[in-house]
Structure 1
Amino acid sequence: MIKMSQAVVSAALVSAGLFGGTALADAEPATAAVEVDRPQITVTGEGVMSVTPDVMRLDTGVEVRRPTAGEAFTAARAAAAALTRALLAAGVAAKDLRTDELSLGPEYKEYPTISGYRAAQGVEAVVRNIDSADEVVDAAVAAGEAVRLDGVSFEVSDNRVPLRAAREIAFRDARARAVQYAKLAGRQLGIPLEISEQSFTPPTPVYGAAGIADKASISPGRRDVSVSVRVVYELE
């Protein structure tokens, strides 16, 4: 690519008489300095760190059906209170309990005939001690027949350390690729001119209630923290 500054372009055009001026016969010929872009190479590096999640989110709650709306709502609230007490007793902190659903509505035998009412209250529990995960689930199930388990998910409470390590891996990967391409092109790799990052951590799979029914069956597995970095290098 060839770049020419505005001043140089104007000087060249004036000397050619393109702005209405008359070029003198004995005038010195105009000269134009052409600036050529330095060659560059753009590469993308990938870095991945595998870590063990240290936090579990338990998606649970209660669901009841009663003949009347009032009975259903009262029963659901009582069952939710019992579930909350059980989770607290199992070691879940009060600040880590959150109501994530509260619903009440009719059920129909054949519309518009109402057969009863369904009430539900969802509770999300954050378990920060993974070693107690099985005990927390058992405590929830033992809280009553109205309890439902909708699944669990796992996450890393602090991604900063694995992210820093993944960035280093990604940058080294990018440089190694750039060095290889520069060598193939018969050039030397220069300084990085531009660096941009896009980090992405894939979501941890959510396991349904059927997958957590057995004792000591809950495992957080491993989770990848990945970073993609785009680097533009100068070629010498």
Structure 2
Amino acid sequence: MEQQITVVGEGAVSAAPDVMRLNAGVEVRRAAAGEAFAAVRQAAARLAEALRAAGIEAGDVRTTELSLGPEYEAYPKIAGYRAAQGVEAVVRDLSAADRVIDTVAGVGEEARLNGVTFEVSDPGQSLAQARARAFSDATARAEQYAELAGRTLGQVVSVTEEVRSGPQPLMLAAAEAKDSVSPGRTTLSVAVRVVYAF
């Protein structure tokens, strides 16, 4: 039976994000459930209009939450009702990020900002570089083990790729003074398991 050696190589590439996902929404509290729901729907309509006015396309906005429920003074006594509607807006022009955030905050006291994430819209080229680095890393490891064992490294028997993680923020790029939001840089990582004849 042919002997084999299995190694895992890792490769990573740093890339500049070009898309921001903004998680926002509206929330209201009213004495009656119907009042709360009507009020949150009105606030959500104002938020949607504000996002459109800020240049966000309708297809780049999706609802992420729609909730209505009681709030208790002391269970089971209901003090009122809370209604919320959340949205995720994709900001494709990062130079407009601060303006979009300010627009959401300007919707009124019902507005909620729940965070932002940054990503690379087309990671293909960066992942290709990460794969090449991962495979080179695997080869170097296998060659070292073969040398340590006094053996000759044979042909590749199999290759299995695993995209280790999604984009991970690295604080490598500072925001310009006029901006409060910075995308920094993102690391795209790939791990590859390579089996060699040994």
1:223 correspondence with 2:186: yes
Partner in structure 1 of residue 5 of structure 2: 41
Q: Partners in 2 of 1:188 and 1:204 — Cα distance?
A: 38
Structure 1 unaligned blocks of 5 or more: 1-36, 206-213
- Tell me the number of residue pairs that the alignment of Structure 1 and Structure 2 aligns: 191
Q: Partners in 2 of 1:74 and 1:226 — Cα distance?
A: 46
| SS of alignment partner, residue 190 of structure 1 | coil
Could you list the runs of 4 or more consecutive aligned residues of structure 1 that deviate by over 3 angstroms after TM superposition? 202-205
Partner in structure 2 of residue 28 of structure 1: none
Q: 2:125 aligns with which of 143, 157, 161?
A: 161
Alignment of 1:50-199 (within 5 A): 50-199=14-163
Closer, same or farther in 2 for the Cα pair 1:189/1:74, shift >3 Å?
same
2:167–2:188: 8 Å Cα contact kept in structure 1? Answer: no
Q: Partners in 1 of 2:97 and 2:47 — Cα distance?
A: 16
Q: CA deviation at 1:202?
A: 4.1
Q: Work out which of the two has the higher radius of gyration on C-alpha atoms and give 1 or 2.
A: 1
Higher relative contact order (CA 8 A, sep 6+): 2
Q: CA deviation at 1:215?
A: 6.3
Amino acid at match of 1:83: L
Q: CA deviation at 1:187?
A: 2.6
Closer, same or farther in 2 for the Cα pair 1:116/1:38, shift >3 Å?
closer
TM value normalised by structure 1: 0.75
TM value normalised by structure 2: 0.88
Q: Greater share of strand residues, 1 or 2?
A: 2
> What RMSD in Å do the two structures reach over aligned CA positions?
1.9
Name the % identity.
Answer: 60
Closer, same or farther in 2 for the Cα pair 1:42/1:114, shift >3 Å?
closer
1:154–1:204: 8 Å Cα contact kept in structure 2? Answer: no
